[in-house]
Amino acid sequence: MKRILSLSLIIFSCFSSFAQNGIYTPEMTNCDNLVNQFMNQFGIPGATFAMAKDGRLVYMRSFGNADLAGAEPTQPYHMFRIMSVSKSVTGIAVMKLVESGQINLSDKVFGTGGIMENNTYFNNVNITDNRIYDITVQHLLEHSGGFDSSIPCTPNPASPYSWNPGHCDPIGFPLHVTETLGESNPVTKRAYVKFLLEKGLNFTPGTQYKYSNIGFLLVGLVIEEITGMTYENYVQQEILHPLGIYDMHNAKSWLEEKYEREGEYHGGGYIIPSILGDGSNQTWEYGGSNIEAMDAHGGWIASARDLLRLLVAVDGFSTKPDILSSSSINTMITPSATNANYAKGWSVNQFNNWWHTGAYAGTASMWARTGNGYTWVIILNKRIEGANSNAFWTALDNLPWTCISQTSNWPAHDFFDSPLENASQLKLWQNNSTSMRITWENGDGENRVVIASENPVSSFPLDGIDYTADATFGMGDDIGNGGFVIYNGNGTEVIVEGLDSTKTYHFRVFEYNQNTTTGNHALYFLANSPQDSASVSTATNLEDLNALGIKIYPNPASDLINIEVPDNLKVNRIEIRNIHGQVVHQEQISQSKVVVSLEELPSQIYLLSLFGKNGMMGNMRILKK
């Protein structure tokens, strides 16, 4: 981010249009076109782009394909590796610890009184450079800890590789690290740090700026030492989850281990020995690098919306509440003494713009906050290397600025207004030989959809789409891969009919909001969506109310039905549902004998349910004549 550089972008008169997904925002059509031009120019397979203005998420679009086969359209819900944008996340985490009084930026990391003083692993490191004992947390956050990765530090070749790395960033030669230290594969983040500590520093801490991945890995280990939690768990539990951010995780190294809704990465085709050291060859993006050992410097995956949700929570503006005090934010983005354009996990400039970029095999990313109220996230599943690299990054930097300059009428909606908590306690009950009752506890969404499928539910409702439900299996909207919508509403249960007793069915619930703030677009919350499966015969049997001593008569009934409850049972609510699972009658009760009117109900079979203080007690089918 230069400007950050300029507002110019090469415009092509003819280009191929990539598949565009997400809610169409007509006021920002030019932004769609700019992304298409950029992807055409550099051959980018997939991209996600989210932009907020004054704390409102006004633009959330995706382009191209998310998978290697080119068969899965990229959706805004896709998560991708963000690589070094993770350094800003780590900076936020440290400032959170500073605010809680658990750490000071001036704290020393090693030596007597240092944070790692009682760490058994680092106590066994052979440190010969005493300057290491002067490294502080602030030095590491500002890339002035004494590590200069541009200076080669390996033999030529760096066994067991057949080449010379020509640098000293250990993430580029994990097998050499484990071989040198005599440790097992795959390499750990502690081993990366130990490797550099035993090499010694390249300069006195605090005197120079030299970008260091391993310095940030060490910050992550400091966080673990202070909190007693893993780096990932601390960030999720103390920062992300309180914001309703659940689509951020530490990435995995192997394609088959990728997260649900995670995209796939197009590397440069480089083949190297596997991180397992088993003699096999892998790509840099899958199996050639231990992504798990990159957590605090480059290990996060994220959806664009969730990453942007984090950014607006630390942007220093009053439009959305910040999770850090203004004092902490000012400290976090104050330039270091050794580089006027880098703070503590953030690039900064004189225009009060903050940003960070990320890049690795198959990944390029950027997030930014401007001094005049704009924030954005762009994540790609390919980066450009070689002769076109500079042009690629210049164009990527220009893209959002040009988007802003070409938007004169900003939307009023806020796509951040999605639910932040999904439904829970999904339960499947046997209703009869061809139907099941599905119950759940609501999350914080205004409404929810329930999806049923003969296979695990692997497709997801799309923002901006309204779905038609039908409680007869196979009759509601198909969201893809045979997932049918059986319920759409604000209730807590549905009876699904038309099931085959010889088959197993899978169910999943997703919360959504749809209101004036969302522009009347449905915004779905996909993370932590409850799911379960059963056949009709293996679903939990509904309790027979007769077995509890409860009398319900007459049945069949005409206009009235009597309910008598033993004195040892406490019933406080009655519900009656029709064959579609809709509540047609409910009332609170406090007496042991109740007469319920069926006069207004049409003749058919109903399901009567009784509830006590601990929830549903049981059900009984009744026939209204």
Domains of the chain: 88-226 (3.40.710.10), 424-541 (2.60.40.10), 545-623 (2.60.40.3080)
Q: Are strands 540-541 and 424-432 parallel, antiparallel or unpaired?
A: parallel
DSSP-assigned letters across all residues of 157-187: S-TTSSS---S--GGG-HHHHHHHHT-PSSP
Q: Is the pLDDT of residue 4 over 70?
A: no
> Residue written as tokens 């000293």?
168
List the one residue out of 281, 300, 303 whose CA is nearest residue 291: 300
Q: How far apart are CA 530 and CA 464, in angstroms?
A: 22
Q: Is the pLDDT of residue 18 over 80?
A: no
Work out the pLDDT band at 542, boundaries 50, 70, 90. low
DSSP-assigned letters across all residues of 442-499: --SSSEEEEEEESS-----PPTT------SBTTSS-B-STT-EEEEEESSSEEEEB--
Whether the CB-CB separation of 207 and 229 falls below 8 Å is answered with no
- Residue 59 burial (C-beta neighbours within 10 Å; 0-12, 13-18, 19+): buried
**Cut 0.85: pTM above it:** yes
In the chain, pLDDT over 90 holds for what percent of residues?
A: 84
The two three-digit tokens of residue 138, written as one number? 């602030």
Q: Is the pLDDT of residue 313 over 70?
A: yes
Q: What is the pLDDT of residues 232-287, one digit of tens each?
A: 999 999 999 999 999 999 999 999 999 999 999 999 999 999 999 999 999 999 99
Q: What is the pLDDT of residues 513-534, one digit of tens each?
A: 999 999 999 999 999 999 999 9
In the chain, pLDDT over 70 holds for what percent of residues?
A: 96
Buried b or exposed e, range 513-541, using 16+ CB within 10 angstroms: bbeebbbebbbbbbbebbeebbbbeebee
Q: What is the pLDDT of residues 352-377, one digit of tens each?
A: 999 999 999 999 999 999 999 999 99
Q: Is the pLDDT of residue 615 over 90?
A: no
Q: Are strands 354-360 and 363-369 parallel, antiparallel or unpaired?
A: antiparallel
Whether the CB-CB separation of 290 and 174 falls below 8 Å is answered with yes
HSE-CB at 474 with a 13 A cutoff on CA atoms is 8
Mean pLDDT is lowest, of 94-98, 109-113, 208-212, 579-583, for 579-583
Work out the pLDDT band at 509, boundaries 50, 70, 90. very high
> Residue written as tokens 């379960």?
532
The two three-digit tokens of residue 508, written as one number? 């999943």
HSE-CB at 583 with a 13 A cutoff on CA atoms is 13
Residue 608, pLDDT score: 86
Average pLDDT over residues 456-471: 97
Helix (H, G, I), strand (E, B) or coil at 95: helix
